[in-house]
Amino acid sequence: MNKHKQNFNKNWKVKRPENTKIVDKGRSITVVNGNVNLAIRKLKKVLEKMDFQKELSKREYYEKPSAKRKRKKDQAIKRRNKELDIMIMRGEWMPTPVTGQKHLKGKRQRRKEYMGREKIQKLRGNR
């Protein structure tokens, strides 16, 4: 048992070739010919692609579990609406029209219905 421990302690470090270097993936940019402005622009693009700023602002304050659920639900609704819009554009799906005027009691409902029809026409390219 003691011999086993000794072998484990001896081999726990992995040797790397000397010419390799560790780079923090995605967050380090090399400065070429002393052009710092170009390197800063590249770094900003990389961080923007990673949603680094969004992640930082999200972790800045505590988010209540109910607010987190609401945010996730809103994101899912947004994704679903986007999928439906794409399906309408391709002609794969059309929403079933609501018949009658009972559901259009107020000005807000009428406006919403009108905007929905306009959106479908726009997506279908009939305009």
39/29 Cα distance (integer angstroms): 6
**Mean pLDDT highest for which of 6-15, 53-62, 67-76?**
67-76
pLDDT digits (tens, 9 = 90+) for 80-103: 999 999 998 888 988 887 777 777
Q: Report which DSSP code applies to 29.
A: -
CA atoms within 13 A on the CB side of 10: 6
**The pLDDT value given to residue 21:** 46
Report residue 7's pLDDT band, with 50, 70 and 90 as the boundaries: low
Residue 109's SS3 state is helix
Question: How distant is the alpha carbon of residue 84 from its chain centre?
Answer: 18
- 113 belongs to a structural domain: yes
- 27 belongs to a structural domain: no
Report residue 11's pLDDT band, with 50, 70 and 90 as the boundaries: low
Looking at the structure of the chain, the number of domains it has is 1
115/6 Cα distance (integer angstroms): 75
**The pLDDT value given to residue 71:** 93
- 87 belongs to a structural domain: no
